[in-house]
Structure 1
């Protein structure tokens, strides 16, 4: 055994030694367990093929296990799997586990079906991963079917399976069934308590979650993490942060949960600050942490931080994670680097519908409408079924490049070919497409025949179209709808005022401004922009003077305005809100 250990530390290529030595299956497994990289694994694989050890199911399964657990390389794992004549339950379970590790539950379920079709009886570990898959999808009826099978096999008393069932029912929305299982636990188990606390939070039952937390005979770090995560999901971020600060011990999940909470609450700067604090504390982030940090980078355009994360991901070989790859695509697209976003997307070994949506919406955002449609065809050829978000990107792309007929066609395909019921976002895109093309009457007809009541965004899109076309005739009809929907929202009233102004209807414009003043309407959320300089993100609000260098900033803006006029800038009088000289 000492000889085998020294062999792996030898610097010459492993394949150069293969002709001289023939290892037993036990020695080969020891080599696989000591493997440090896919390159080493491939060299060991070459030896396995030459010595015909690939027929040893246990050896082949250990290869798959390395690809799944260490390298996260499911493509290679599947190629090895295909070489096994009769995979056993352990082998099938390893593949199913692999798909769960890279968060593709649909493939895990698919292989579970193939396993049963081959007549291989699942073991209790198979069921653990299958129940997790049904929790992620979620799929209630299929989960109940597995529960019935476990009852018939007498496996429900197993602690891991019992917890997986509680988790599955809570994720599928049947908290009552989850609680019944929780009460059936034969002995105290902190994992089941934690799962039940999560279940209470998932249905918004904060009171019972707190009661369970207080009644716990013993708490571990996962108990605190469940509590922090629960309050975060209920929107009580400040309470979650207070709990985080009070924790006796923190692990990676604690940090990741809090960073994710900030990112999902659009508090990106706090997320990035905590991410930096995490690094100073010596805690190594994983792919889950990175996804949250990348989301925060996307929100404020922190490109330098996003690049650092990408470098870390490459160095630590985390890119096979489909969610992490998708987050990188999204971050680069939203930070203006669409070419790098495409490069990352094309290099992803696994892509799900979210990955395709990220690049399609990114291209649409950058105005590459024709590229979006080309890529959408590739998505269809790859047999990836689009969802409602996909079609938001498609219709947005059609709007940006003025493809009215294509927009109509894709809108109809969404319903007829993919059975996707259009949401208000899709109608908003169609109204934008028609409005940009000057088809005001068709846009008005579409609003009138929508299956749901138009919201403020729909009327805002319609008013924008009216402004582009200089059509003020339809504006009067809109005012009464605005008063019914959101009388306190000033955005559309300001837009109405601008439309009257652009049509030189000064009396109507003044009347609208008077209405705004009398109603006390103010812009609820001031406009915000951000810029990254030397890896530091600076945020600015309208008429903001909170920045320590605000005087220098306003001075630079004044100089810029002077230089623009010297270069021949001519103001656009159609945007002037009052009847004044040009």
Structure 2
């Protein structure tokens, strides 16, 4: 494999100048003879585009570049999510001789992990010196891509691990649905390594306690024990830690405990309120969810998109059609745009109430267009209500969107609808299509939206 560093050497400064010249045409600041002032100008620029423009101007005027200049410009490149720009700046770092600067190379690795993880992997493999930060960056990168095995492999290879390393690996397990493994690793950290967890570690574990499925009781016990650890060590219950505790208790169905923790948070934010509302609605505490939503508005906290998903989901499960309409109309009143989850809730709500015309109208005016989950919800309501006429309006369009590898349940649903409408030939055609395309039938498929922070 060709070395990443060798390839980058041949990218000229002119490439960076040409690329960044297309980013912004606004005039650059007045030149200053002091490189430190240029660095501060890059750091304090009004936008990442402006930061890169100032850096380019430095090169045009042959202003010396120091490590702070490079670090601030790297930060700007990361925010721009522009891979060609980042690669060209990497070439600049090599030409300027900063490849031995641990802080710069760590920052570069972090930038690549967000822009192109393949480049991050290659850079990591060729780095002459790796720090704990670089190892942690790669563990988090593999975790975000669902490759928890590779993340664990790197974790095991690390020569030195700090609390951030353990936290990153525990978060990798929890975020990929391996809560039990995350719990085991936490126990190992406490007993074998004698390390005291920090806030990030506990937030990662608590985040998975409410997602243990059939092991929800275990999640509650684990979450409660972590809560006890926090109290015994007299940790301050700030917004971040308090919110994950609220979310854990609410998702496990212990709304009173969630409210008790919520009341201890000094300045709960919209995420805190949303966790409580979603948890209440998810477990059937619909009146409580509505009361919380009203209280949130009264204290001046503006609901976000997820808050509305939570309250609309509560209306769906309780069959509150008119209330759902009111909440849906509130979305735009708060300056937000209804998203596909909000539309999906309304389709479910109208479908369950037998108001198929209203559900159909919601689908026709959706932006973005309905996905297969929403189409499936609508067709399922048509089947339950024995209304083939409404289903027939959309079946042809849905068939054109079907994916054999993912939509087996919808194939079967359409075949059943054709039988219900006595369209025997069409039903047989769909069943033959399922055989020819090797469609896998989905088990226990549901088209009802779920809410969770």
Normalised TM-score (structure 2):
0.74
Task: After TM superposition, give the deviation of residue 186 of structure 1 in Å.
Answer: 6.3
| Alignment-derived partner of residue 107 in structure 2 | 195
Contact 2:274/2:306 (<8 A) preserved: yes
| Alignment-derived partner of residue 241 in structure 2 | 324
Q: Which one of 75, 81, 87 corresponds to residue 173 of structure 1?
A: 81
Q: Which one of 347, 351, 361 corresponds to residue 431 of structure 1?
A: 347
Cα 1:377–1:432 shift into 2, 3 Å? same
Q: Does 1:292 align with 2:219?
A: no
Aligned-pair RMSD on alpha carbons? 3.8
| Alignment-derived partner of residue 387 in structure 2 | 471
Deviation track 1:373-418 (CA, whole Å, cap 9, x = no partner) reads 2222222233222221111112112222332222222222212x22
Larger Rg: 1
Contact 1:259/1:275 (<8 A) preserved: yes
Cα 1:280–1:491 shift into 2, 3 Å? farther
Contact 2:67/2:98 (<8 A) preserved: no
Show the 5 A alignment for 1:53-68.
none
Q: Which one of 121, 139, 148 corresponds to residue 228 of structure 1?
A: 139
Contact 1:341/1:359 (<8 A) preserved: yes
Cα 1:314–1:497 shift into 2, 3 Å? farther
Show the 5 A alignment for 1:358-507.
358-415=275-332, 417-488=333-404, 489-496=407-414
Cα 1:314–1:518 shift into 2, 3 Å? same
Task: After TM superposition, give the deviation of residue 220 of structure 1 in Å.
Answer: 1.9
Task: After TM superposition, give the deviation of residue 470 of structure 1 in Å.
Answer: 3.5
Question: Distance between the aligned counterparts of 2:135 and 2:201, measured in 1?
Answer: 18
Q: How many residues align?
A: 390
Question: Distance between the aligned counterparts of 1:187 and 1:456, measured in 2?
Answer: 49
Cα 1:362–1:319 shift into 2, 3 Å? farther
Task: After TM superposition, give the deviation of residue 238 of structure 1 in Å.
Answer: 2.1
| Alignment-derived partner of residue 312 in structure 1 | 229
Deviation track 1:119-159 (CA, whole Å, cap 9, x = no partner) reads xxxxx9xx9xxx7xx9xxxxx9456779999999xxx9886
Question: Distance between the aligned counterparts of 1:518 and 1:187, measured in 2?
Answer: 56
Cα 1:471–1:213 shift into 2, 3 Å? same
Task: After TM superposition, give the deviation of residue 265 of structure 1 in Å.
Answer: 1.9
Contact 1:342/1:359 (<8 A) preserved: yes
Structure 2's unaligned 5+ residue stretches are 1-36, 59-63, 446-453
Deviation track 1:482-531 (CA, whole Å, cap 9, x = no partner) reads 43223322223444566789x7979799857676556533246788xxxx
Structure 1's unaligned 5+ residue stretches are 1-123, 135-139, 528-582
Deviation track 1:447-495 (CA, whole Å, cap 9, x = no partner) reads 1222332111101221332244343333344443343223322223444
Cα 1:332–1:428 shift into 2, 3 Å? same
Cα 1:499–1:383 shift into 2, 3 Å? same
Contact 1:256/1:292 (<8 A) preserved: yes
Contact 1:147/1:165 (<8 A) preserved: yes
Q: Tell me which of the two structures has the higher relative contact order, counting C-alpha pairs closer than 8 angstroms and 6 or more residues apart.
A: 2
Normalised TM-score (structure 1):
0.59
Question: Distance between the aligned counterparts of 2:267 and 2:311, measured in 1?
Answer: 22
Contact 1:493/1:516 (<8 A) preserved: yes
| Alignment-derived partner of residue 23 in structure 1 | none
